[in-house]
Amino acid sequence: MAGALRKTMVYLGLAEEDGRYDGYDGYDEATDEREYAAEHSAPVTQLPTRPTAVASVVREPQVGTLNRITTIHPRTYNDAKAIGEAFRDGTPVIMNLTDMDDSDAKRLVDFGAGLVFGLSGTIERVTNKVFLLSPAHVEVAADDAAPRAPRGPFNQS
């Protein structure tokens, strides 16, 4: 390795070339790798060949009879945590944003849309500033006269 270091130093101009080169610098890479492997060997653990299913990693809410709906009247964007925790636990959430200014209300609708998208739920506008967040296991029956919104990100416009 000293030869390789010397060549690098010469290339960078940190040392002068001595004018002789016989093609061998005294370093045998294959021998060095074998010696290192013999001194530093460790057992190899086999990794699982099948990736872990998402269902075994993500906690699914228990599906049973629907016995609770949470209504939240947020006053600031900081109340988003309560909305997220209730929805994550599998409880439908009614977000009543009438006590909020328009900019924070829009931020909370964006938060709710991302929440239902990430957990495969739905979001529906009940009135101008009231929204229903439904988990994936809850089916909301809509009036046949009103068209149902498609599943996916919520469009506020």
The predicted-structure confidence for 110-156, as pLDDT tens digits, reads as follows 999 999 998 888 899 988 899 999 888 887 776 655 555 555 555 55
103 vs 151, which has greater pLDDT? 103
Task: Find the range with the poorest average confidence among 36-40, 69-73, 103-107, 138-142.
Answer: 36-40
What are the structure tokens assigned to 151, written together?
């599943």
| Domain boundaries, given as residue ranges, for the chain | 2-38, 64-157
Q: What is the pLDDT of residue 73?
A: 92
Class of domain 64-157: alpha beta
Mean pLDDT over 56-71 rounds to 66
Per-residue confidence band for 28, with pLDDT thresholds at 50, 70 and 90: low
- For the chain, what is the mean pLDDT? 76
Starting at the earlier edge strand, list the strands of the sheet with 70-72: 70-72, 93-96, 130-134, 122-127
Q: What is the pLDDT of residue 58?
A: 57
List Cα–Cα distances, 117 to 107, 109, 112, 136, 148, in angstroms: 15, 12, 8, 10, 17
- pTM score of the predicted model: 0.51
Q: What is the pLDDT of residue 45?
A: 75
| Per-residue H/E/C for 53-116 | CHHHHCCCCCCCCCCCCEEECCCCHHHHHHHHHHHHCCCCEEEECCCCCHHHHHHHHHHHHHHH
